[in-house]
Copies of this chain bind each other. A is one copy, B any other.
Amino acid sequence: MNKNNKNFQDQIVPLRDNIDSIDSQILSLLARRQAQVENVVALKKAHGIPVYHPAREEDLISKLRLQSQNNGLDPDFMEDLYRVILRQSRVKQTQKMEHKGVRPNAKVLVIGGAGQMGGLFAGLFIKSGYEVRILSAQDWDHAQALCLEVDLVLISVPIENTLQVIEKISPLLPPKAVLADLTSVKKEPVSQMLLNHTGPVLGVHPLFGPTLSCLDKQIIVVTQGRDEAACQWFTEQLSLWGAVIVESTPDEHDEIMEIVQSLRHFVTFCFGEFLCHRRAKLARTLEFSSPIYRLELGMVGRLFAQDSALYAEIIFATPERRALLKEFILSLGRHVDMLENNDKQLFIDQFKRVAQWFGPFSDQAMRESTFLIDKLIERF
């Protein structure tokens, strides 16, 4: 080690020790903060007050941004940091709250409760103090006993079995039991439930995968079938677990899902399949990749990391979906002339028309994705 280098080491070590000491103090303040937040949650629970308070969060952020400027810190940095802290305290709060049952001790039968999505809901019901029963494919001999005095039946089986399961279970149900399904289509299952069960009926579609640990801010679409009042406690329970409930009709739901689930995944499939077909140099393209390309290719890679049968079910679910996808493929033929003629002006005209149609969402998307790209750069 030469003299200059030793000199440098002598000077940098105390600075690094200072930083380490500051970090320890920050850490112990965060632990104290967490303890205080837990006291707030306990107090709110005791008074039956909802724990998540967006207004207070935004007030806090505004105040901290102002304080940051006065302390020579970047306000955006401070906001990023506190979004992480507030998110953590919200997760903590939700973990504590989600145990609360709207109708504890009510009897819930989950058909397909040994599967992933069924298992997720069964687990939530158990934590919240419900009496949970599971009916798997091999349990149909005991179905009668499992249905005894049941308050809610939740069907979580593959799409192609849903209609048949509804037909089999309905005659065994008490007339007052709420019958609900978790299928990603709603028209046929809801009709089938209304046809076979005389009591309350609710169509439910959770818009998330089964690998979550909590429902915080996750969206669940609910389509009313029959006797909304009798189904109310169940949707309240979903809200209490942190989910955001979106009301729809089976028709509207299915029309929107043609786009959101079928077309979107199919476009991604086509892109991935063509890359594979062309034997594109995937690894090398990633070395060349801007964060946004990495993110977009990541969306494609993500699809193919998942269950092929599940996506076949989702994409091919209904004749309407398959017709839409065929229409998509055939409509692309319109672009062949544009490419052959190198007609940039036509492209620009179409581009502008679409941009206008997208409207303010485009700018919002730009802001949101820029935020995410920053996160991605930060991480890797």
Contact = CB atoms under 8 A, between A and B. Distances in A.
A83 B378 contact: yes
A204 B64 CA distance: 42
A125 B269 CA distance: 44
A223 B173 CA distance: 72
Contacts of A353: 276
Nearest to A221: B288
A148 interface: no
Contacts of A219: 288-290
Given A87-B378, A299-B369, A302-B369, 13 more contacts: A12-B40, A18-B36, A26-B29, A30-B78, A74-B88, A207-B288, A264-B293, A295-B369, A300-B365, A304-B354, A308-B348, A313-B344, A332-B332
Contacts of A153: none
Given A282-B358, A358-B282, A372-B372, A73 B30 contact: yes
Contact of A259 (B82, B84, B207, B275): B275
B369 A270 contact: no
A139 interface: no
| Copies of this chain, tallied across the complex | 2
Task: State the majority secondary structure of interface residues on A.
Answer: helix
A26 B26 contact: yes
Contact of A260 (B288, B302, B312): B288
B16 A40 contact: yes
Given A26-B26, A27-B67, A332-B332, A267 B271 contact: yes
A22 interface: yes
Given A40-B12, A302-B366, A372-B372, A23 B34 contact: no
Given A336-B329, A354-B276, A43 B365 contact: no
Interface in A303-360: 304-306, 308-309, 311-313, 315-316, 322, 325-333, 335-336, 339-340, 342, 344-345, 347-348, 350-355, 357-358
Contacts of A281: 255-256
A73 B29 CA distance: 11
A47 interface: yes
Residue of A298, A342, A380 contacting most chain B CB atoms (<10 Å): A298
A225 B267 CA distance: 39
A25 B29 contact: yes
Given A24-B67, A27-B73, A299-B299, A342 B358 contact: no
